[in-house]
Amino acid sequence: MALAVSGNLYGDVGLALASVAMVAIIPLVNVFSVAVLAHYASPEKQSARAIVMTVVRNPLIWACAIGLAPDDRLKNAKPARSPAPPRRNC
């Protein structure tokens, strides 16, 4: 939703800036959210090591890390061509 709004309000530049901001903000917010939930959702007080281990084992954090990992397959990728328009038989 944020990308659609920024694209409609600010055009291509706004869309690019919002995309870059989201790449930086979303993983950071996810790590903080998991750490806070690990700290306050436990009935007993957890050590800092236990909280860090909870963050490291969390699938949401793994998904963010995999999404940010560089992909070598994209180096030689060719742009997709749009299909030819259908021919009209008159």
The answer to whether 64 and 30 are in contact (CB under 8 A) is yes
The answer to whether 51 and 38 are in contact (CB under 8 A) is yes
The DSSP line for 21-80 is HHHHHHHHHHHHHHHHHHHHSSSSPPPHHHHHHHHHH-HHHHHHHHHHS--GGGTTPPPP
User: What percentage of residues in the chain have a pLDDT greater than 70?
Assistant: 89
- 7-51 pLDDT, tens digit per residue, is 899 988 988 999 999 988 999 999 999 999 999 998 899 999 999
pLDDT at 57 over 70: yes
Name the 3-class secondary structure at 81: coil
Give pTM, 2 decimals: 0.67
